[in-house]
Amino acid sequence: MMQRLRVAVETPQYAGLARALDYACPHHLPAGTLVRVPLGQRNIPGIVWAGAPDQEAAEARPLASLKPVAEVMQALPPLPPVWCDLVDFTARYYQRAVGEVALSVLPPELRKLDNAGLDKRLRLLAKRSGWAMPEPEGSLPPRRKSAKVQSSRPGPAEPAPPPPLPTLQPEQAQVLATLADAFEQAQPPCHLLHGVTGSGKTEVYLRAAQHALDLGRQALVLVPEINLTPQLEARFAERFPGRRLVSLHSGLTPAQRLANWLTAHLGHADLVLGTRLAVFCPLPRLGLIVVDEEHDPSYKQQDGARYSARDLAVYRAWLEKVPVVLGSATPSLESWQHAQTGRYKLLTMAQRVGQGELPKVRIVDMNLQPQPAPGQPAAPLSEPLLTAVRARVERGEQSLLFLNRRGFAPVLSCTACGWKSGCPHCSAWRVFHKLDRTLRCHHCSFTERVPKACPDCGNLDIQPVGRGTERLEEQVAELLQGLERPGGGAVRVARIDADTTRLKGALEQQLAAVHDGSVDVLIGTQMVTKGHDFRRVTLVAAVNPDSALFTADFRAPERLFATLMQAAGRAGRDAAAAASSEMWIQTWSPTHPLFTALRQHDFARFAASQLQEREMAALPPFSHLALLRCEARDAAVAEGFLRQARDMAQALLTEQAADGQVTFYAPVPPHVAKVAGLERRQMLIEASTRPGLQRLLAAWMPQLPALRGQHKGLARWAMDVDPLSI
């Protein structure tokens, strides 16, 4: 007898389709089962979803008129109920279709396979890995809560002996004792680990993971960026020989990502390391979640379902009743506020391992430095900073120069008519890359060769304006020319940014050169300022941090303080050289409170002042935001859509019971108003309570697709709940 099934399929938000679609199936399928179903002219992947079929839909379409399920993916056990709960919460909170979220977080290769192809992949993986195939119909048994639970993964015949463990510092031991107690609690709290750079947070993660593994559980460790995954993976692999460790991030090939995901889903992976998408990895024996550098904005997805992996990690830990650790030297102000109010449990490590000192912070007031002659470019390094760098080179130590702008120069300009290298498709400049002589837009990727003369007036004198890492590398090499390293030889300057690490293995190769001392001065963007353990670096300098200080975004000071604190943490990580380590900052605003707090490495002071300002201005975490964004060929179309959407929402507010105040701001262009030929506009919604905002969005969002047809030329729209930048 045919039965009605709810199936979540991937449909775009603007389609306005139901949360799950109804299909017919000759037998019952448990929720979480992967299937292929017809939609239009294609068979697409879907997931059987829990819950009763929509009564109105059932009356409108009798069972006999439903399309049947095309294929059941019997080779794979169903996704666990807690995974479905996590996806369902994500879809509801971030206002996306449940199928869109559910399918988008699965490996792309999995969505392409039929049952026969999946079965073949599983057999090859099982043969290569040495574990048994899962039963076709069943699913893995639920994780027992006893401390004697054993891994379903067959261990090696002769496990390798564990490496000798480093001696714990008193603060580390205290933190680990607190976490050990959390494993025994029925509902462990969320732990915020505030540890200064070099305090040994990674060792805490390793010991906590060992505790989870001893209980027969799995550990999930999230990192903000792909370039941090290989080195952390090496640390875990060294600590846990014989344990199966897999990584999940977009840098893997589709086949690697599918194999690692299947290994985790079937319970054969003991440790999973990954970027934000790994928060959705199904783990049947999950026992611990760690979010390293929890403040990092990379945890917030910026397209599609704009979820925060950090926040979802906290929610998933609550669902699964397992400990979660958010670690950072500079926690996000939201997490810090939760810790101050008792919602999170604050764990503090204020000392570096080996009692090493934090680097001394030196502020260079650029207003007091000699200015260049008219028509001459300004030197990239002030004289005091250049002297300090030279001294490091002569002592055989390393320096790191931080400039968060890649390319040679942000813009090319004509000295005669004022022409600038703007992008014809975006309201942004095309960046000059000297190495390949191109002008490249970093927003739409439009690239052209550098013109030989000004396109407007024909003037041959086209000059670079501003400075990127490529130009800084060239200028620093010139400034250090003639200086010899200890033992002889020219100074070696290297650059690490998105341009120099595009090829596979390039980042690992360049980092290895830094670690083995082949580099004297390292120049890079923020990708080298966090997570890396550069033992030879004793000087870190922020060349031009002011560009990130004065912006319209209220989070700019928080992000800059975190970046500079993380950058400072790369210096003096070897306790023997900690006393002479320094952080230099070149700024035109030396009296800014941010630099005052940074000089004292006083995050608590900085956070208190920022939270006080935000409370006075009713900004997060003292209010709750959503941002409705849209794009259209014509700016008037985008603004008209937002104004009509605002009128619709205000009408809904009058019908709902008041739960706090909701404010709608006028539609405005973002910082970059045009990208790839599309005009962008956004409208900010501010609410005093989270339930009030969520209730409005739940009633408002289903009505927005109907507006699309009334605004011809509207390309797309999306709701961003808890936006990171406005």
Q: State in words which class domain 169-354 has.
A: alpha beta
Q: What confidence score (pLDDT) does residue 265 get?
A: 96
C-alpha 510/C-alpha 518 separation (Å) is 9
pLDDT average, residue stretch 434-458: 93
Question: Per-residue pLDDT tens for 287-332?
Answer: 999 999 999 999 999 888 899 999 999 999 999 999 999 999 999 9
Determine the CATH number of domain 3-106. 3.40.1440.60
Q: Where are the domains of the chain?
A: 3-106, 169-354, 356-407+468-614, 410-465, 624-721
Whole-number average pLDDT of the chain: 89
CATH 3.50.50.60 holds for 624-721: no
Annotated binding site for Zn(2+), which residues? 414, 417, 423, 426, 441, 444, 454, 457
In the Cβ-directed half-sphere of 268, how many Cα atoms lie within 13 Å? 18
Q: What confidence score (pLDDT) does residue 547 get?
A: 81
C-alpha 623/C-alpha 594 separation (Å) is 23
C-alpha 641/C-alpha 333 separation (Å) is 33
Judge whether residue 17 has pLDDT over 80.
no
Question: Per-residue pLDDT tens for 620-648?
Answer: 999 999 999 999 999 999 999 999 999 99
Question: Per-residue pLDDT tens for 196-233?
Answer: 988 999 999 999 999 999 999 999 999 998 877 778 88
633 close to 713: Cβ distance less than 8 angstroms: yes
Most confident of 121-135, 143-157, 505-519, 612-626: 612-626
pTM for the whole thing? 0.91
Question: Per-residue pLDDT tens for 354-387?
Answer: 777 889 999 999 999 988 887 777 889 999 999 9
Q: What confidence score (pLDDT) does residue 575 get?
A: 66
pLDDT average, residue stretch 697-723: 90
Annotated binding site, which residues? 414, 417, 423, 426, 441, 444, 454, 457
Do 624-721 and 3-106 have the same topology in CATH?
no
In the Cβ-directed half-sphere of 161, how many Cα atoms lie within 13 Å? 3
Q: What confidence score (pLDDT) does residue 1 get?
A: 72
- Tell me which of 12-26, 77-91, 683-697 is least confident: 12-26
546 close to 404: Cβ distance less than 8 angstroms: no
Cα-Cα-Cα-Cα dihedral of 323, 329, 335, 336, to 10°? 120
* Residues listed for the chain: 726
Q: What confidence score (pLDDT) does residue 335 get?
A: 97
C-alpha 52/C-alpha 139 separation (Å) is 22
Q: What confidence score (pLDDT) does residue 135 get?
A: 63
pLDDT average, residue stretch 581-599: 93
Judge whether residue 143 has pLDDT over 60.
no
Q: What confidence score (pLDDT) does residue 146 get?
A: 35
- Distance from chain centroid for Cα 26: 43
Q: Which amino acid is at 143?
A: R
What's the CATH architecture for 356-407+468-614?
Answer: 3-Layer(aba) Sandwich (3.40)
Q: Give the DSSP per-residue string, 281-313.
A: ---TTEEEEEEETTT-GGGB--SSS--BHHHHH
150 close to 285: Cβ distance less than 8 angstroms: no
Judge whether residue 140 has pLDDT over 80.
no
